[in-house]
A and B are shown apart, each in its own frame.
Chain A
C-alpha cells in the first residue's frame, strides 16, 4: 500500500476527528454540566453550515461567512436554551431525548423552507484552495490542513479557559455541584446559557468548516450527531479530555476503515465479496468500537468523577 496514501488518509482521519471534537466538546459540556441530552446539537452544525454558505454567496467574504455561521449557531443555541431547554433541565433523559427529537424535525424543515430542498453549494475560499507540501513531495489539501490547525487551536483555547480562567472554574464548579454553586452566588442560569451558546457555536464552526467537504443539506446534522454521541460515550460523558481522545480515535478509525478495509479484505476474499463486505464493515466499525469500549468500561474511557 502506498505510504503517501496512508499518510493522506491518516491526516484525513485526524481532520475528521478534529471536527468531531468540536461537536463533541459542546455536547459533552452540556451533558456534564447541565445533565441534558440534546439530540438537536446536530441542528446547530447544520445552521452554521447553511448560514456560512449563504453569507459567502451573498458577500463573497470568507471572514463574514465564518462570523455569520458561528454567530448564527450560537444565537440559535441561546434562543433554544431560553425557550425550550430551561424547562428540560429538571426532566428525565427520556423527556429530553423526545423533546429535542421534535426540535430536529422543526429545524430540518425550517432550513428546507428557507433555502429549498436542494443542497447548498459551499466553496473552499481562494486562499485555501491549493495544496501544501507537508513533507517534501507530499502534497495535502490546504483547506483540510487549515481545519486541523483551527481545531487544535480551539482545543487548546478551550483547555486554557476551562483550567486557567475564572469562567472555567465556574463551569467546573457548576459541573460538580450546581446547587452549591448557586448558593455561593454564581448566576447559574446565565452560566448555563453561556455554556450552551459556546457549545452551539463550536458545533456551528464544525458545520461551516465541513460545508465545502460534505454537502450542505437538510438533515446533515444527524449523521454527525450520532457519531458525536458515539464519541462522547467512548470518551466518557462530561469529560472534555475524553471527548478529545475519543474524537481523534473515532475519526481515525472511521476514515481509515472506509479507505482501507475493502482493499484489505480483497487480499483474503474475492473482489466482489470485498465490495460488499468492505463498506458494510466500515460503517459498522465505529459502533463495534463503542460496544467494545462500553463492555469493558461501562462509563467510557475517562468518566469524570460523579457529583
Chain B
C-alpha cells in the first residue's frame, strides 16, 4: 500500500490535519459540542507552538518569552474592541504590526547575546510586557478585559458560530504549516538552519547571520501574534495571565513534547499537552504534582518527543 512510502512526517501531518478537520461534525454527532471550543483552543496553541518551532527547532534560538506575542496579539484585539473597533481586518492588522515591531525590537537587543543570556533576556522582555499590561488599569489591569463582540470581517464570517471560528483557526493553522514548510526549505530557511548548525562557519563563508535571525524572530513573533488575536476571539477575554512566564514555558514544553524541528510535532505537542492537562485536572485538583514530574521525565528520557518516538517505532517495525 502506498501509505508505507510516505515519510513519518507526511503521514503524521495528514493524520493530524484530518483528525482536526472532523472534530466539529464528530462533536455534533456525539452531542459533546464543547469539544469544538476545546479544540479551537488547542489549535490556537498549536499555531503558537509552531511559530516557536521555527526559531527554536530550526534556528536554535531558545526564546523563553514567546507568550508575550500571544499577549500582544490578544490585547491588540481587546484594546481595539474596548474602543468600539470591531473590524477584524483592523484588529488582526494591528496585532500583526504590533507583534512585528515588538519582535524586531526584542530580537535586536536579545540576538546580540547567546546561550543562557539569550534565554534570560527574552524572558525578561516578556516579563516587562506582562507587568506593563498588569499596570494598565484602563484595560482591566490584573483582572483582564472582556470583549463583547467577535472580530467582524466585513460580514464575511460569523464568528459567533463555534464552527466558523473553528474552521477559521483550522485554516490559519494549515496556512502556517504550509508557510513553515516552505520557509524551512527555502534559501532563508537554509541560512537559519545553517546558523543553528555552525554559526561561526556561516559568518566565515559570508553570511551576515544577524539580520536573518532577526527576520526569523519577527516572523515567529507575528505568527504567534495572530494566534493571540484568535485567542482573544475564542475567549472573548484578555488578561495579563496570557503572557505569564509560565505560559512561555508551557509553549516550550509543547514543542519539546511533540518533537522540535518537525513543524507538525509542536501541533501534536499542543494536543498532547493540553489534553494531558485536562485529563489530569479532571482526576485531581492537585494535577500539577503529577504534571511536573511527567514533564521532567519527558525531558530526561523522551528523545525527540512524541514524534521521535513514532519515528523510531516505525523504523523498528520496518526492520523487524
Contact = CB atoms under 8 A, between A and B. Distances in A.
Interface in B101-120: 109, 112-117, 119-120
Given A93-B119, A279-B135, A298-B117, A98 B292 contact: no
B135 A283 contact: yes
A108 B288 contact: yes
B112 A102 contact: no
Given A101-B253, A102-B296, A93 B116 contact: yes
Contacts of B216: none
A281 to B, nearest CB: 9
Contacts of A288: 128
A299 B295 contact: no
B117 A233 contact: yes
A87 B132 CA distance: 38
A294 B136 contact: no
Interface in B75-130: 109, 112-117, 119-121, 123-125, 127-128
9 contacts: A37-B119, A95-B299, A98-B249, A99-B296, A101-B246, A103-B292, A105-B288, A106-B293, A108-B288
Interface of A: 31, 37, 84, 87-88, 91, 93-95, 97-99, 101-110, 112-113, 222, 226, 229-230, 233, 237, 276, 279-280, 283-284, 287-288, 290-291, 294-295, 298-300
Interface string B298-309: 111000000000
A280 B252 contact: no
Given A102-B291, A106-B288, A280-B131, 13 more contacts: A94-B252, A98-B249, A99-B299, A101-B246, A101-B249, A102-B292, A104-B292, A233-B121, A233-B124, A276-B136, A283-B132, A291-B124, A294-B113
Interface string B134-156: 11111000000000000000000
B120 to A, nearest CB: 5
B226 to A, nearest CB: 25
B296 A103 contact: yes
B245 interface: yes
**Residue among B56, B114, B127 having the largest count of chain A Cβ atoms under 10 Å:** B127
Contacts, number: 130
Contacts of A284: 128, 131-132
A94 B56 CA distance: 10
B190 interface: no
Contacts of A105: 288-289, 291-292, 295
A113 B289 contact: yes
B38 interface: no
B256 interface: yes
A112 B124 CA distance: 27
A107 B291 CA distance: 11
Given A102-B292, A280-B136, A284-B128, A295 B112 contact: yes
A109 B288 contact: yes
B240 to A, nearest CB: 11
A79 to B, nearest CB: 14
B62 interface: yes
Contacts of B292: 102-107, 109
Given A237-B116, A284-B131, A287-B125, A295 B289 contact: no
Interface in B12-57: 56
Contact of A290 (B124, B135, B136): B124
B299 A233 contact: no
B286 interface: yes
A291 B289 contact: no
6 shortest A-B CB distances, which residue pairs? A102-B295, A106-B292, A105-B292, A280-B135, A283-B131, A109-B289
A285 to B, nearest CB: 10
A99 B135 contact: no
B64 interface: yes
Contact of A102 (B123, B138, B286, B294): B294
Nearest to A281: B135
B62 A87 contact: no
A298 B134 CA distance: 29
Contacts of B135: 276, 279-280, 283
B121 A291 contact: yes
Nearest to B138: A276
A99 B295 contact: yes
A113 B127 contact: no
Nearest to B260: A94
A101 B295 contact: yes
B121 A294 contact: yes
A93 B123 contact: no
Contacts of B291: 102, 105
A106 B112 contact: no
A165 B134 CA distance: 48
B128 A287 contact: yes
B117 A98 contact: no
Contact of B299 (A37, A98, A222, A299): A98
Nearest to B294: A102
Interface in B268-306: 286-289, 291-296, 298-300
